[in-house]
Structure 1
């Protein structure tokens, strides 16, 4: 029997919020074209996506505690093209409505959708959405590139039963004794992994409680300073609706400016976000906790999500237009800790999540103030073919994500401060920014104004969407 791909620890956050809150974390790629790609080319793009890694669905395990398993789905959504054109001023409204409302389901399907609309100036906008539970950002963009260049393929094709669009199990393999035994073995393995995770978490907590001198951490290091206590997120974000801004720049220009200030393209990206947060009053004079996702994907990796995260604390080491070297050093230290296997205690406890009642996990996860003030997701560099559909080259490609279904009447919120996704395609770098704190960022205009101030302060030339 072929190897089974089970739900991974990296998937667990997105499964937990779905089960506990009814949220669907959705990712989106948006293309802006100067002309309408041919209908046949758009249809071919959609068909090739069907063959790729986004076209998966989740089948629940038949044994308690065992992890659910992934299969390649034998169905796919049809290409959706709106009948009525929109104006250029409505592009954000249209793409935002798709992001917030596209009906995706990991079990019954579909888990992705390709949708487009004409713009009345002769242009065209294309949106690809997918569940984060199925794929992380880099996986999703790679899937789009593979579909565009005709190389899309899912390693799970032919593994286990496919199932029908309604989610009814039509394959006998999923009911076989062999697979039932695998579920049992996986359940026992999960118990062992949970025990190992508890031991590692305890060791991590003991390490973190060592005297600062024993860890060679200098006095006054930003990680020793307390972050200001903020009001609960639901009070600062009563509408549970973020504001958006998207920026495009020449990638070579961005990198040149970063080098001039002793940094890298990524540290400049982080610095712009941190500066906008400080300018908004969000930090209240205290240090910022900055989250940086890092891809941990290996060769021939079948996982949809393979991202870890590091965090840095930034006090007064950085000023707009100043030296990026201190931030670069902090990031390097964080990446080295990750490479050495030093993870936060809660990461080791992820195998325990499936063994505990959901309500208990939610209470533990929402206690304290571990949420980063900003998350800077750099998806990396992609070849120019990401921008090409049927010979029409997009003027810009952007990436972003949100959680659908966040109830403003409940106390839980998805995200805090700022979250941003950067992607380079060919010669252009584009990053989208979501602002969650409605007190500091009361609307998209305020967010754009603060970002413009930071970009101007670094001497950057840019185009705001």
Structure 2
């Protein structure tokens, strides 16, 4: 589709400060150095690939913004000095700034040599460009030439506007026959007070990346009547409780991949479940199965396309906090095998997650812990982002929470 979807525009508004800023990141870790010629080749293939696009506004009221091919890109960034493996996550966390899906490049490729002789490669992109699955597809396309679905040709601006207004006006009229729907009350932004007497403020987010053998993960899930996904949700909920979260129930937001063919876009919807302390991987499996049949929708049956024909500030007010719950559990799924190596260099680890560049201490989201699960070959990788600096102040604290939860099931784990 060469027009932005409702989800695309929610992420675009977040990029402009209306909502929680989100950038996606893929990380590759190798045991040996990567030469710059190889990196430049990957950079060039990404530049001319599906991530090479930007948003173009239309002047026709109601017509959706369009995607336009854009081969301009941030230069390949290679760290001047090797970084210590202990500082790997700090470096990775800093690679999501200055991404602009509308007026400038929306993605960046960067690399850093590690002091132990290895290398870390980072690809970040604005969430307006792609979701987690799409980022993996874009890299697979760049590394292996795997074909993607061709973009669907769009209508003219005037034709698109007519279709949008017809959908909004007709759908709203049908919905209002049942009365004016009440607008959901968004949760108030959380605020954290940073110490005043410091030159460098502490980070608002923390990170952890852990690898678990797929055979062990599957064995534990099956032994407890669950699936790999329900075990994932169960573990993340327990991490939040272990951090000091006091509510007896945790609202979990679950992204759902809705693409029926390989496309690089935001082809996803959201659903949610409530997790209680009595839940097990088996009961969460049942809750999630039911939830996937009932996705989050706009209130009262009002067409979600309404958000695309009204001013951005109004649309932000109506959709504020959409999809945000106590935890986010994003199961990105199995990654393509092409991501297992970079040229002749096998990867010792591959991870995917989201970052929040520009997050403000007076506007933290409701979400306190975000988790991303991927599988490649015989390894599951669990990437965690803590969004509660009071309860989870450091990378070490988050890694300890994760290790304790995994140790409950005697899962072997290696942390980055």
Smaller-chain TM-score range? 0.7 to 0.9
Superposition map of 1:54-93 within 5 A? 54-93=51-90
Change (3 A) 1:415 1:80: farther
Superposition map of 1:368-379 within 5 A? 371-379=324-332
Superposition map of 1:137-148 within 5 A? 137-148=132-143
**What is the aligned-residue RMSD (CA, Å)?**
3.1
Deviation at 1:335, TM superposition (A): 1.5
| Cα-to-partner distance string for 1:112-167 (whole Å, 9 max, x where unaligned) | 1111111121111100111110111100011111211134668359x89xxxxxxx
2:101 paired residue among 95, 99, 106: 106
Q: What SS does structure 2 have at the residue aligned with 1:116?
A: strand
1:281 paired residue among 240, 244, 252: 244
Pick the structure with more helix per residue: 1
Aligned equivalent of 1:428: 379
Q: What SS does structure 2 have at the residue aligned with 1:304?
A: coil
2:316 paired residue among 362, 373, 388: 362
Change (3 A) 1:231 1:188: closer
Structure 2: segments with no counterpart, 5+ residues? 196-201
Residues 134 and 266, structure 2, Cα contact 8 Å, conserved in 1:
yes
Residues 406 and 414, structure 1, Cα contact 8 Å, conserved in 2:
no
CA distance in 2, matches of 1:22, 1:259: 38
Residues 205 and 345, structure 1, Cα contact 8 Å, conserved in 2:
no
1:133 paired residue among 109, 128, 133: 128
Superposition map of 1:66-465 within 5 A? 66-99=63-96, 101=97, 103-151=98-146, 155-156=150-151, 182-198=156-172, 232-235=189-192, 241-282=204-245, 284-299=246-261, 301=263, 304-318=265-279, 323-338=280-295, 343=297, 345=299, 349-366=303-320, 371-408=324-361, 411-414=362-365, 416-465=367-416
| Cα-to-partner distance string for 1:63-110 (whole Å, 9 max, x where unaligned) | 1221100122233343222232112122111111113x2x22112321
CA distance in 1, matches of 2:173, 2:383: 39
Paired residues in the alignment total: 407
Structure 1: segments with no counterpart, 5+ residues? 161-178, 209-228
CA distance in 2, matches of 1:235, 1:105: 27
| Cα-to-partner distance string for 1:251-308 (whole Å, 9 max, x where unaligned) | 12111111111111111111110011112221x243111111011012265x611011
CA distance in 1, matches of 2:300, 2:3: 21
Deviation at 1:60, TM superposition (A): 0.8
Deviation at 1:111, TM superposition (A): 1.6
Residues 20 and 365, structure 2, Cα contact 8 Å, conserved in 1:
no
CA distance in 1, matches of 2:144, 2:270: 30
Structure whose alpha-carbon radius of gyration is higher: 1
Q: What SS does structure 1 have at the residue aligned with 2:162?
A: helix
Change (3 A) 1:75 1:207: closer
Residues 168 and 303, structure 2, Cα contact 8 Å, conserved in 1:
yes
Aligned equivalent of 1:174: none
Question: Could you tell me the TM-score, scaled by structure 1's length?
Answer: 0.79
Residues 58 and 65, structure 2, Cα contact 8 Å, conserved in 1:
yes
Aligned equivalent of 2:198: none
Aligned equivalent of 1:38: 35
Change (3 A) 1:23 1:328: closer
Change (3 A) 1:441 1:77: closer
Residues 335 and 375, structure 2, Cα contact 8 Å, conserved in 1:
yes
Q: What SS does structure 2 have at the residue aligned with 1:13?
A: helix
Structure 1 residue ranges (4+ consecutive) displaced by more than 4 angstroms after TM superposition = 199-208, 229-232, 235-240, 346-349
CA distance in 2, matches of 1:439, 1:298: 41
Change (3 A) 1:98 1:445: same
Aligned equivalent of 1:176: none
| Cα-to-partner distance string for 1:336-381 (whole Å, 9 max, x where unaligned) | 334xxx74538854311133333333334448x9731111111111
Change (3 A) 1:204 1:248: farther
Q: What SS does structure 1 have at the residue aligned with 2:293?
A: helix
Question: Could you tell me the TM-score, scaled by structure 2's length?
Answer: 0.88
Change (3 A) 1:105 1:258: same
CA distance in 2, matches of 1:186, 1:261: 50
Q: What SS does structure 1 have at the residue aligned with 2:248?
A: coil
CA distance in 1, matches of 2:282, 2:373: 21
